[in-house]
Structure 1
Amino acid sequence: MTTVAFLGLGIMGLPMATNLVSAGFDVVGHNRSKGKADALAERGGRAAGSVAEAVRDADVVVTMLPDSPDVEQVLAGTDGVFAHAGAGTLVIDASTIRPDVSRELAAAGAERGLRVLDAPVSGGEKGAVDGTLSIMVGGSPEDVEAARPVLDAVGKTVVHVGPAGSGQTVKAANQLIVAGTIELVAEAIVFLEAHGVDTDAAVRVLAGGLAGNAILERKAAGMLARDFTPGFRLALHHKDLGIATAAAREAGVVIPLGAAVSQLVAAMVARGDGGLDHSGLLALVEQLSGRA
């Protein structure tokens, strides 16, 4: 049985680790808050009290952490994965971090005989629970193939997109599209409501035409009900858009619409709404329209 160490058991990590247990992997989980590791143990996994304990006998290590500094600390810190994992261990970072950091970590891992992939995911909490995530993977073709059984257990669409850091670059593009689409759906809903249109009916017909998109399918009902229970928090999308805008600047690419939505998300976070689901952009559109 393949042993998988899973580090980071939050909104996304815990259901992903649970799906690995269901797929027959021996999963050892570690999280900064012990309760999450205990929750994994209740679902058939095992709880570890430290990174070292989790990765010591692991064949594969998966990390799902909030930001670049967290991943750097857990992987390359003095008591991190690189210091304790055995040579040949496959390290899959499913977090969303800066592409340059992913490239640096892949190189550092290779120096220690480890095979490091960046494999950020898209699909939100529901995708993590259902095992239907879209996974964009950066790294060598051989390592991607070796990781495929693990990735297939948590995702529905698993695509190798290039060398180290490429997965994070594609994820940045994903987050640009998602944020822009949420903003336009929010504007459309406020627009429709202002005209007294049956919004449920409007969403159904819009979803069936060229305007159809995953945000209308998955988020519109909650937006209409003003239910912004977080599946993916605005604070995290704010972080991701910072990655995208920085990477665009580095490449000399202009992203005017992306930059505008990034500022709207930043405004939500600045006023204390970072804990809302990213569909909470609707609340800002309402306020700017004088309809809050």
Structure 2
Amino acid sequence: MSNIAVIGLGIMGLPMAINLVKAGHTVTGYNRSEDKINKLAAEGGRGAASIADAVKDADVVITMVPDSPDVEGVVSGPEGVFANARQGTLWIDASSIRPDVAKRLAGDARAAGLRPLDAPVSGGEQGAIDAVLSIMVGGEAEDFEAARPVLEAVGRTIVHVGPSGSGQTVKAANQLIVAVNIQALSEAVVFLEAYGVDTDAALKVLGGGLAGSKVLDQKGQKMLDRNFDPGFRLALHNKDLGIVTSAAREAGVVVPLGAAVAQLVSALVARGDGGLDHSGLFKLTNELSGKQ
């Protein structure tokens, strides 16, 4: 069992930290809002007053924060992870950030004596709660093997996909696929409702055929119920699609469907719906069809 520091106890970070406690690890959490630290403590974890305090005795440091600047903010500087973690500590960044930033920060981590892995996750809040996340990992193979027992406490599908930055590249592809699927499902539900079809029955039979997907399973009922409580916020998917479109441009490849959905997500965020679940794409699709 390991001493693990978890930096960022949000929608994903907190249930991941709790599952690490359940697996028998000693878990110290740091978060800017103290209520999340208290929730971890109630589950058997420990709280820290600072990042430096959280990581000083850790064998493994996991960061789970929203965006590239946030990761840089928690790892850099005199109070950050790199300056305060012990030599040889595994640093696992589970955030979803730009692949080029992940690669650069991995170099900085190695220079500080740490062993970096970029390990973004997919599966949403429920996947984090159930410890069944899909985890795509970039970094050195031996560091991946050393981190495997920790990753197995929070995920089910755990794959080493290449050198540093590769995990974030695969996560960007994941977010592209998910966004396009959510938009297609939104359009299908609007179409079905327009014809007065029994939508519960329709989604059941669609889910059993080639149109079936985890997106349909997890998001279809939310659309039917108009329940957009966040499991993964549109604001974060907007950030991820920005990563996708920028990286695609740099690689010289086209993502026409992804670019179109990125604009729809951006429109929702711009009008104030960024706090909704990404299944909230249905709202805009419905409105564009003149529905409420």
| Inter-partner Cα distance in structure 2 for 1:258 and 1:278 | 14
Q: CA deviation digits over 1:148-201, x for unaligned, max 9?
A: 000000000000000000000000000000000000000000000001111001
Amino acid in structure 1 at the alignment position of 2:81 = V
Aligned equivalents of 1:77, 1:215: Cα separation in 2: 40
Distance in 2, matches of 1:155 and 1:77, equals 31
Shift of 1:2: 1.1
CA contact (8 A) 1:234 1:273 kept: yes
Partner residue, 1:245: 245
1:219 to partner: Cα distance: 1.0
* Count of residue pairs the alignment pairs up: 292
Residues 223-274 of structure 1: CA distance to partner in whole angstroms, max 9, x if unpaired? 1010000000000000000011111011001000000000000000001000
CA distance in 1, matches of 2:168, 2:32: 24
Per-residue CA shift, 1:29-53, capped at 9, x if unaligned?
0001111111101100000000000
CA shift at 1:77, angstroms? 2.6
Structure 1: gaps of 5 or more residues: none
Letter in 1 for 2:239: K
Match of 2:143 in 1: 143
Identity of aligned residues (%): 68
Partners in 2 of 1:197 and 1:81 — Cα distance?
Answer: 54
Are 1:44 and 2:44 matched, yes or no? Answer: yes
User: For 1:178-197, what aligned pairs fall within 5 Å after superposition?
Assistant: 178-197=178-197
Alpha-carbon distance in structure 1 between the residues aligned to 2:215 and 2:87: 42
3-state SS of paired residue (1:230): coil
Q: Which amino acid aligns with 2:40?
A: L
Contact 1:76 1:105 in 2 (8 A): no
Farther off after superposition, 187-196 or 70-79: 70-79
Structure 2 CA distance for aligned equivalents of residues 122 and 221 of structure 1: 20
Counterpart for residue 61 of structure 1? 61
Q: Secondary structure at the match of 1:153?
A: coil
Show structure 2 runs of 5+ residues with no match: none
CA deviation after TM superposition for structure 1 residue 286, in Å: 0.7
- After TM superposition, the score normalised by the length of structure 2 is 0.99
C-alpha contact 1:16 1:131 (8 A) present in aligned 2 = yes
Whole-Å Cα distance in 1 between the matches of residues 38 and 83 of structure 2?
A: 25
Query: TM (normalized to structure 1)?
Result: 0.99
